[in-house]
Structure 1
Amino acid sequence: MSVARLPTVISTTAAKARTAGSAVKILAGSGIVRPVNPLGLARTGLTLARWGTGPAGGFIGLAHRYPRRTAVIDELGSLTYADLDRRSNAIARALAARGIGEGDGVAIMCRNHRGFIDATLAVAKLGADALYLNTAFAGPQLVSVLERDKPALVIHDEEFTGLLADATSAERLVAWVDSEDPGATLESLVSGDPRPVPPPKRHGRIVILTSGTTGAPKSAPRQEAGIDAAVALMSRMPMKDGWRCFIAAPLFHTWGIAHLLFAELLGTTMVLRRRFDPEDALATLAESRADSFVVIPVMMQRILALPEEKLAAYDLDGIASQLKAVASSGSALPGDLALEWMDRFGDTLYNVYGSTEVSYASIADPVDLREAPTSAGKVPWGTQMKILDNDGVPVPDGEVGRIFVGNGLLFEGYTSGGGKEVVEGLMATGDVGRFGPDGRLYIEGRDDDMIVSGGENVFPQEVEDCLMRHELVADAACVGVDDADFGKRLRGFVVLVDGAEVDEGTVEQKLKDWVKDNLARFKVPREIVVTDALPRNATGKVLRRELATWDEGSDGSDGERAAGK
Structure 2
Amino acid sequence: MARRGLLTPGPPHRVARQFAELHRWKFGLAGELRQAAARSPSRVAVIDESGPTTYGELLDRSSRLAAALPVKPGDRVGILGRNSTAMVTAMIGVATLGADPVLMNTGLSAAQLDAVTQAQDLRLLLHDSSFSPPTGVLFDEIPLGAPLTTPPARPGRTIILTSGTTGVPKGARRPTPGGFSPLCSIIDRIPLTAGVRMMIAAPLFHAWGFGGLQIGLALRATIVLRSRFEPSAVLSVLEEENCPALIAVPVMLQRILEAPYRPVPLRIAAVSGSALPGGLATRFMDRYGDVIYNLYGSTEASWASIATPADLRAAPNTAGRPPHGTVVAVLDPSGQPVPAGTPGSLHVGNEMLFEGYTNGTSRSLQDGLLATGDVGHVDTDGRIFVDGRDDDMIVSGGENVFPSSVENLLADHPAIRECAVVGVPDAAYGQRLAAYVVLHDGAVLEPSAVRDHVRDHLARFSIPRDVIFLDELPRNATGKILKRDLPPITDPD
* 3-state SS, counterpart of residue 122 of structure 2: coil
Find the aligned partners of 2:483 and 2:242 in 1 and give their Cα distance: 37
Provide Cα deviations, 1:367-395, integer angstroms capped at 9, x if missing partner: 01111001111110100010011111111
Higher helix share: 1
Give, as a single letter, the amino acid of the residue that structure 2 aligns with 1:491. A
Give the Cα–Cα distance (whole angstroms) in 2 for the partners of residues 474 and 204 of structure 1.
42
The residue that corresponds to 1:520 in the other structure is: 459
Distance 1:528 1:438 in 2: 36
Corresponding residue number in structure 1 for 2:185: 232
Q: Which residue of the partner structure matches residue 45 of structure 1? A: 19
Partner of 1:489: 432
2:37 aligns with 63
Pairs within 5 Å for 1:86-485: 86-95=60-69, 98=70, 100-161=71-132, 164-165=133-134, 172-175=136-139, 185-186=140-141, 189=143, 192-213=144-165, 216-225=168-177, 226-306=179-259, 311-312=260-261, 315-316=262-263, 319=264, 322-485=265-428
% identical equivalent positions: 46
Aligned residues: 490
The residue type paired with residue 174 of structure 2 is R
Q: How far apart are 1:215 and its partner, in Å?
A: 5.6
> Are 2:474 and 1:535 equivalent residues in the alignment?
yes
SS, match of residue 28 in structure 1:
coil
Which residue identity is paired with 2:360?
G
8 Å Cα contact 1:401-1:434 kept in structure 2:
yes
Q: Which 4+ runs in 1 deviate beyond 6 A?
A: none
Q: Write out per-residue CA displacement over residues 316-358 of structure 1, whole angstroms, 9 at most, x where no aligned residue.
A: 2xx1xx2121101110000110000000000011011000001
Distance in structure 2 (CA, Å) of the matches to 1:41 and 1:284: 32
The letter of the residue matching 2:15 is: L
Q: Is contact 1:214-1:544 (8 Å) kept?
A: no
Q: Distance in 1 between matches of 2:35 and 2:187?
A: 21
Deviation at 1:117, TM superposition (A): 0.7
- Scaled by the length of structure 1, the TM-score of the pair is 0.84
Root mean square deviation, CA, Å = 1.5
Q: Does the CA-based 8 Å contact 1:86-1:194 persist in structure 2?
A: no
Is 2:66–2:148's contact at 8 Å kept on the other side of the alignment? no
Is this contact kept in 2: 1:60–1:85, CA < 8 A? yes
Is the contact made by 2:197 and 2:224 (CA closer than 8 Å) also made in structure 1?
yes
Asked which structure has the greater CA Rg, the reply is 1
- One-letter code of the match for 2:302? S
- The Cα offsets for residues 207-263 of structure 1, whole Å up to 9 and x where unpaired, read as 011111476421001121232221111121101011100100001001001111112
Which amino acid in the other structure matches residue 419 of structure 2? Answer: A
- Answering whether residue 35 of structure 2 is matched by residue 54 of structure 1, we say no
Counterpart residue number, 1:550: 488
In the alignment, the residues of structure 2 paired with residue 482 and residue 215 of structure 1 have an alpha-carbon distance, to the nearest angstrom, of: 23
* Contact 1:32–1:265 under 8 Å retained in 2: no
1:52 CA drift (Å): 1.3
Aligned pair in 2 of structure 1 residues 290, 356: CA closer, same or farther (>3 Å)?
A: same
Give the C-alpha shift of residue 93 in structure 1: 1.6
Cα shift readout 1:526-556 (whole Å, capped 9, x = no counterpart): 1110001111111111111112x52579xxx
SS of 1:152's equivalent?
A: strand
Q: TM-score, normalised by structure 2?
A: 0.96
2: CA distance, partners of 1:501 / 1:373: 27
Q: CA deviation at 1:36?
A: 4.1
